[in-house]
Every structure is written in structure tokens, then in C-alpha cells.
Structure 1
């Protein structure tokens, strides 16, 4: 069992408690496989043949265990049984109380991170800056092409926070070299997965080469706290089914298991273990009751998180708008450019996917 001791997981199973005070867990317990409610640790295979990555499984069934489920044998059949669901607490009506809960949870989570052998993936946005604030002696890393938004934002934020920033400058050779490694780690060749995973992989690879065993990341903040544009006006956005900001945010939270599987496998393949303080149970519990006005408005996203960061981070960092990593690093743009240079034109269906497949012999 990774992420929690067996006794804690047993108590959570007995009580039906989805948030028992951990940072996520997965593994084999009492003859069955168990994965936490948000799938913060990937888990694959069967109770008799399992692992934390698909390659750890020797038999034919290396499918992932769904988040919040146990996988067990029942009358000779392999069964996935849901044991936890994401809580749906009442909406908090006191804005000060809600922001206070977020502030206490986030500061407690990031301050509890062990800073030894640790680097921070740092884009200059409020998420990664909060993580970095908890480990003031850890170096910060950002990856991007020379004119990338993330590189500029990270430099500005690092200067404002007086932090050591190490820039991983990307080029086409780095992308082409890393694409097969990312595909091998994730098992996916679609352009979106690869363009998100590439900057994570290349940052982690550099941190590992510099001697760091762990990489702290801000994963989860956008999903939990209303960081996506599609949650701002969900009634008029066909990317979500919900019609309220809070409902759309919960919809996005449910996408976390798939995203975390991608990111965790990518980082491990690069040689580091991910550290995700903004996904601890206490932080999750503080986010779930937030009203829509403290999640996203037409003028501001991650409202409660930014208010919680005020007074701890420089104002310029609190207010910084962050781009998604594939765009902020310019990896998505340059992967498209490489695809077109290789003859995969935009008029072709899935032209970048096809280019990726060509790099791995698909």
C-alpha cells in the first residue's frame, strides 16, 4: 500500500470515508486492490498480478483500477466495486469562513512537505508559487521555448519571491527525443496528452539529473478551485454538461484520476516521484463547499485560492493568470510545427497524433 498505512485504509473502508486525511493511496489490501476516491496514485492489474504502472503487470490485464473502487475476485470473476464517492457538502454561505478554511488547509499542506531532495515545478502562477512557498529552500524549475509565457512568468515570480529558478530551455530536438519516452510511459499518443506531458517530463528529467528524487507540483488546484475557463459560464459552454459554476467544477474534479495517471507515470518515467500537496484530503475538503462566486467569475478564476494566498505571496504572483502548461510552454505550438514540417498538414485528420505515432513507429 502506497500513500497510507493499511490500518487507515481499512478504517476508511469500514466507515465509507472518502477523505480519511491522506494524500491519496493505492495498493493491495486483504486480497484486493484499493484506489482512493480521486485516484491520486495509479494502480493497475488484478489482485494476483498488479503494480503501480502498467509495465509492472506481467499478465494480459493491466487495466487501471477506477478511482474510489476496490478490485476483487467474486465467484471467480474480476469485479470493480465502488466504495467511495466524492463528498457533496452544502455550499458554504460565509465567504470569510470558506476562504479561511482554504487558507489553513493549503498553508498546512504545503508547509508539511519534506523539503529534502525536492525540487519544485514552477510556472509562475499562484498554484506552483504556493507549493514553492512551503519549501523555501527548494530550487524551482520551468520548461519552455525561449519566448514562452511560462518562462517569462516564472522569471518574474521567482524574482518577486527571491527564489532560485532554473530554466529548461526547449527546442525541437528535445521534443522529438522525449516524445517516444512520454508515449512509452503513458501508453497514449494523442496530441493533448503528449503536449501536456512533455514539459512535465523535461522539467522532471532535468531535476533528476541535478540530483533531486522528488518534484513538487501544483496539480489539482485548477480542478478543485475553478481554474478552467469552461467553468466560468457553464450554461453557455458546451465543454461541460453542468449549468452552474459549482456543478461544472465538480465535473472537472471528476476528470482528475485520468489526468493524475498521465502525470504520475510521466514524472516517474523521468526519474522523480511526484509530490502533490494541493491534492491532500484537507485541501480537497476545503474546496468542495465553495460557492460559485469563490470559484470562478467573468473577472477572476480560483477566487478563494487567490484570496487565501494574499499576504503570503507577492501581489503580482497572486494575480498572475496562468496558461495551461502545453500552451504556456509553447510545446503544443511547436509540436504542431514539427508535425507540419514532417508532412502532416493541418487539413489531415489528427495530424499531430499521426506525427506522434510516426515517431514511435505507429
Structure 2
């Protein structure tokens, strides 16, 4: 089985093509840890996600935090980078793949909700704090939008903060306000239409996505990462996973009335959106790597995932509709309340990238009356 994972540089996967899978090539965990997790079926063995080759099989962790791919018709040829393959097929999260096909080897636990709310919040606090404090800061920057997720990282990591958005965007304003409350310097990446036009084909090529939602989410991440990489940083701390794990979506808060979820409880709806993480993380990881940085996601570490899955529904969304309640209570120990309890827009809207991408598409002749007009515009730039 070959590994065509990296660029054509000395020691890269292309240079070392046709490497046998039994010569372990693994990201995010040691072979011993993965072998132990396979042996006992533990989906959360104390990592922040992993993928790669172990003992004749490709594996990808239960949340899909590290993507890995094979050729669709040749499972013996694989890569961490889909661009290195002619027809890449992702290994599903929680699976092992060999030449015979895929096998489900891990499933996320589905514990009964904790009954002691104070203890549950304390467990979240200890997990989040521990995961963040273990992050080395050499070569690290922080993607910072001013919300509770990125503020939890920024307040504990001695690393520069970056935000991307159009000059009048909510994210830039929120990040400036929050950075001031944290007494931290903020580096603002003010976006222009030219930035978007140049980045769109790069993001589409890196992620393999052209739909409007995927591209508009990936663009601000990519452009923040590009600036951080240009400034000499090779790792970017991100708050990915908090909305899914801690009940940050409106459709979760409105369950079961919201038709976008099938579940009839907040906890059930939360589990549904956690199930979307592998696909989302694949997009984000590939975009960030294409920009020249390696993502670091402390809020997706196994210890945080385990603490979040234990939460009762009322600590995800309160009776008053306040979302991510346990996370907000947990991090107020080191994040000022005006930041910890601030509601924030999704990145594609808070940065105004979604609005301006739509505007560029219409200016290029792709009108809203056309089906998938933004996607057609993205394809035209490729």
C-alpha cells in the first residue's frame, strides 16, 4: 500500500511512494495507543484524533479529527492529502480500511446524562483547561473571533490572535472588543473582494468542495491561516467542535420543533450534529493545511468530548434558550463574563464572507434565480 500524503520534497510521501502500510505512518497518536484502542474498542483513548496506517489497515478516529484517503478503486494506495490521489475516497470516521473494505471499529459513547450539574460543569472546566494547557505555544497562533470558543483558547495561550473579516463585519468588531477585555493584541486580516476571488479556487482545490456553505465557512479560516503562516507561524489553534459538542446550534436549541433535526430532545439533536463533525473537520483541516498551518483543536480532545457527552440537556441549552451553557459556566474562571456569555454569529456570516461571496457571484452574472448560483461562480473561478 502506498502513501502519497505530502508534497514532493525529500522524505515526503510522494518521494517515498509505494511504502508498505506495515511501515507505520500515523498522525495524532502512537501505534501502541491505536492498537490498544482497537483491542478494547475504546473510541476516546486520550488523543486529539488520529489517522493513518497500523498493522496492515488504515484507521480514522471516531470523530474523524484527522482525515485520510484511499483511491476509490484501490484501497492499497492512500494519502493524508486527497490532492495526491486521482479519485480520493475518505476513510469513514471510526473505521478501519484494508483491501477488503471498511470495518466499523469505534463508536462514540452514548452515556446517560449526568445528574449532578455542578460536578458536570466542573468536569468540563477541568477537561477544557487541561486540554488547552497542554498545547505547546512555539510556532502557534490563535484564530480568534471574539466568541466563547476562541476566547477560552486565547485567554490561556500565549500566542498572537488573528481574526479575518470585512471591515464592517461582526467578527472583527467582536474580536476587537474581546481582545481588549483579555488585554491581548489582535491582528486583523481585513478582507477584500480580491482576497476572496484569489482564495476561492485555492480553497475549492484543497477541500474538494464547491458548494456555497462549505466554501464560505472555509474561506475565513484559510485567509487567517495564510496570514499567520506568512507571519512565520506553522500551527493555528481553533475552537472547532464546541458548537457541536456543547449545543451551540439553533436547531439543537429548538429541538424537536426544528425540522432540521430528527431528534425529539436537545441531547438527541446534539448527537445528530456531532455526527456531522467528520465531514466538517475534513473540510477545515484540508483548508488550513493548504494555507500552510497545522490545526490544533483542544476543544476536540478526547477528554473534552467525554465531558461534553455526559452533559444533560439543560446544560447544553437552558430553559431560556441560552446555548453552550456548561461551556460558558466552565470557562468563566478565566474568560470575562461579557465574553464568556456573548452570543456570536457563525463564521461565514460574522465575517461577511457569505454575503460578499454571493455579491461577487451576482456581479459575475450568476443570479440568485439560478440554481446553486454561488457554486456555479466557484466552479467558474476554478
TM-score by length of 1: 0.96
Task: Specify the alignment match of 2:277 in structure 1.
Answer: 256
Unaligned stretches of 5+ in structure 2?
Answer: 1-25
Question: CA shift at 1:56, angstroms?
Answer: 2.9
Deviates more, 1:297-306 or 1:42-51: 42-51
Runs of 4+ in 1 over 2 A off after TM superposition: none
Task: Specify the alignment match of 2:322 in structure 1.
Answer: 300
SS in 2 for 1:346: coil
Partners in 1 of 2:226 and 2:267 — Cα distance?
37
SS in 1 for 2:371: coil
Partners in 2 of 1:208 and 1:310 — Cα distance?
31
- Residue 290 of structure 1 pairs with residue 311 of structure 2: yes
Q: How many residues align?
A: 353
Quick check: 2:253–2:321 contact (8 Å CA) kept in 1?
Answer: no
Q: 2:78 is matched with which residue: 17, 35, 50?
A: 50
Quick check: 1:32–1:47 contact (8 Å CA) kept in 2?
Answer: no
Q: 1:265 is matched with which residue: 273, 276, 286?
A: 286
The CA RMSD over aligned residues, in Å, is: 0.9
- Residue 90 of structure 1 pairs with residue 80 of structure 2: no
Quick check: 2:247–2:323 contact (8 Å CA) kept in 1?
Answer: yes
Question: CA shift at 1:47, angstroms?
Answer: 5.2
Q: 1:211 is matched with which residue: 226, 232, 236?
A: 232
Task: Specify the alignment match of 1:198 in structure 2.
Answer: 219
Question: CA shift at 1:3, angstroms?
Answer: 0.4
SS in 1 for 2:58: strand
TM-score by length of 2: 0.91
Task: Specify the alignment match of 1:123 in structure 2.
Answer: 145
Partners in 2 of 1:85 and 1:306 — Cα distance?
27
Question: CA shift at 1:146, angstroms?
Answer: 0.6
Partners in 2 of 1:127 and 1:89 — Cα distance?
24
Partners in 1 of 2:237 and 2:222 — Cα distance?
13
Q: 1:4 is matched with which residue: 17, 29, 38?
A: 29
Question: CA shift at 1:61, angstroms?
Answer: 4.6
Partners in 1 of 2:241 and 2:273 — Cα distance?
10
Deviates more, 1:13-22 or 1:45-54: 45-54
Task: Specify the alignment match of 1:39 in structure 2.
Answer: 64
Deviates more, 1:254-263 or 1:310-319: 310-319
Question: CA shift at 1:310, angstroms?
Answer: 1.4
Instruction: Summarize the alignment of residues 159-170 of structure 1 with structure 2, pairs less than 5 Å apart.
Output: 159-170=180-191
- Residue 66 of structure 1 pairs with residue 92 of structure 2: yes
Alpha-carbon deviations, 1:146-191, whole Å to 9, x = none?
A: 1100000000000000111000000100000000000010011100
Q: 2:55 is matched with which residue: 30, 40, 53?
A: 30
Quick check: 1:213–1:272 contact (8 Å CA) kept in 2?
Answer: yes
Question: CA shift at 1:351, angstroms?
Answer: 1.0
Question: CA shift at 1:118, angstroms?
Answer: 0.3
Partners in 2 of 1:56 and 1:10 — Cα distance?
27
